[in-house]
A and B are shown apart, each in its own frame.
Chain A
């Protein structure tokens, strides 16, 4: 046991990766499962707000781009469930926890998408925030998680660009389109900032996660990084950040901002956001309505599968 713990600590110390069969502290495993499952559920639930506009995408090009993007989110959910499975937690278990409200997902997906510019804002701000976090997680200490993040970051590199492209069209379009663009920024700015999680001082899980190099940078550090790179983009679009206190601090080179409304954050996290119930009901209903399909596939396999490897 001590020998194992020393080996584990040495791997972490040297910035090497922990692999599924390596010994790891229970708390390390638990933290990983919680973080990876939350990440996976976010990808999968995140398909819904964007899916809300898929059927109404205003051009053949935008429909294909949006569908490819939503499909990527599903794929990323799949990669992340696979990561959890290497820790001996089944996808089914994780989904049950989601349905029972025991597992969380990013609170930003509990906000509705109310106009087409929201699709731009999600790609640009929400994926933009996610990418800052995910780039950092490529260096996470758990091997399968790190490898999944590398693949995810590579695939997501088009997401933010497609979102920003929509914003450019909207911001440079008709008066109504500009209004939609500003409205989308107004509604998604703060929820995007909250995606980085609570302040470092209030973050229940940060301590060990940093020590074990599961998380590589703190919530507040990453949030500030996102603000600093995004505010100039808002200005480029000729839109405004919905925060009167957002200004560049010449000394630090960083943007200051108003305190975030953590009451709202906690309300949404605790199930009282505008769409929490709908998102979970949708996921649960699809699961239940298609039980017969999965049963059929299982029964068919039982009747027809052979060990022979030819198809």
Chain B
């Protein structure tokens, strides 16, 4: 390990930060690739919210760990196995339905998590959660609207969304495989799972999308830095400059 994460609170923060960062990087890939100009601009707003959120979380992480590392060190100087984002958010932008489905599944989850973090003993995290929840409420409204547009719109859009949901649902059980770190900081995880399932089932039903079965597995997960192959490529591109010119500052 190049940069170790030493406390449970830091482990919680790094999971949150990495998840928001990697999703932001995926949304950055959509820049100039939106289905029309307005949506392009909207996706950039979403990515900027996520980047800002990730930056605040990394700053808090750096402060908590007290190793004289900056937020950027956590972003640019860790390897694949030292990232702790959920596998869901590293999945590629296969088409616009994937972008929307991934965002929606993330937003529902993030809303529940940050709502619980409002009660955090750490006042900075509680304060940040309040700000973040406003962003998520807007993002969730938009991603849900698009779920309905694609699900109800045309036969093709329905099929594409169904395919994206089928593929992405494989990564949902991981979200709920809470370990002792999560349980220490996130209250009422049972309730969280219930909330998530109710919200998602309801949307999928309205959008005429078949809800795939959630299969719990016993595989190692992102909490141990275990990922899909997509993450490494994303990181090698994202980290290129600081890695290629380690002495430079930007």
Contacts and interface: CB of A to CB of B under 8 A. Distances in A.
In the complex, A touching B, CB below 8 Å?
yes
Contacts of A70: 31-32, 44
Nearest to A302: B153
Contact of A64 (B29, B51, B238, B242): B51
Contacts of A47: 31-32
Contact of A297 (B48, B52, B76, B153): B153
Interface in A159-200: 166, 169, 173-174, 176-177
Interface stretch (B3-11, B35-43, B173-181): B35-43
Interface in A66-105: 67-68, 70-71, 74-75, 77-78, 81, 91
Contacts of A154: none
A164 B48 CA distance: 22
A58 B247 CA distance: 13
A64 B31 contact: no
Contacts of A300: 148-149, 152-153
Interface stretch (B122-130, B154-162, B194-202): B154-162
B190 interface: no
A295 interface: yes
Nearest to B250: A58
Interface string B64-75: 000000011001
Nearest to B43: A71
Interface in A279-299: 282, 286, 289-290, 292-299
Interface string A126-150: 0000000000000000000000000
A74 B153 contact: no
A58 B76 contact: yes
A303 interface: yes
Interface stretch (A49-57, A212-220, A252-260, A261-269): A49-57
Contacts of A113: none
A252 to B, nearest CB: 39
Given A60-B71, A78-B41, A289-B95, A174 B248 contact: yes
A68 B41 CA distance: 10
A70 B153 CA distance: 30
A38 B31 CA distance: 21
A67 B157 CA distance: 29
Contacts of A294: 35-36
A77 B40 CA distance: 12
Contacts of B237: 55-56
Q: Determine the main DSSP class of A at the interface with B.
A: helix
A60 B160 CA distance: 33
A70 B33 CA distance: 12
B54 interface: yes
A91 B41 CA distance: 16
A201 interface: no
A51 B31 contact: yes
Contact of A59 (B25, B152, B250): B250
Nearest to B158: A296
A63 interface: yes
Indicate the member of B28, B38, B75 with the most A CB atoms within 10 Å: B28
B241 A116 contact: yes
Contacts of A64: 48, 51-52, 55
Given A58-B250, A174-B245, A295-B154, A44 B44 contact: no
Contact of B96 (A51, A116, A290): A290
Contacts of A233: none
A198 B149 CA distance: 47
Interface in B53-86: 54-55, 58, 71-72, 75-76
B33 A286 contact: yes
Contacts of A303: 152
7 contacts: A54-B31, A55-B28, A58-B76, A62-B250, A70-B31, A71-B45, A177-B248
- The 5 tightest CB contacts between A and B, nearest first, are A296-B153, A296-B157, A290-B35, A71-B44, A293-B35
Given A174-B248, A290-B34, A299-B154, 6 more contacts: A58-B248, A59-B242, A67-B47, A71-B31, A286-B35, A296-B156
Interface of B: 25, 28-29, 31-38, 40-41, 44-45, 47-48, 51-52, 54-55, 58, 71-72, 75-76, 95-96, 148-150, 152-154, 156-157, 160, 237-238, 240-242, 245, 247-250
Interface of A: 44, 47-48, 51, 54-64, 67-68, 70-71, 74-75, 77-78, 81, 91, 116, 166, 169, 173-174, 176-177, 282, 286, 289-290, 292-300, 303-304
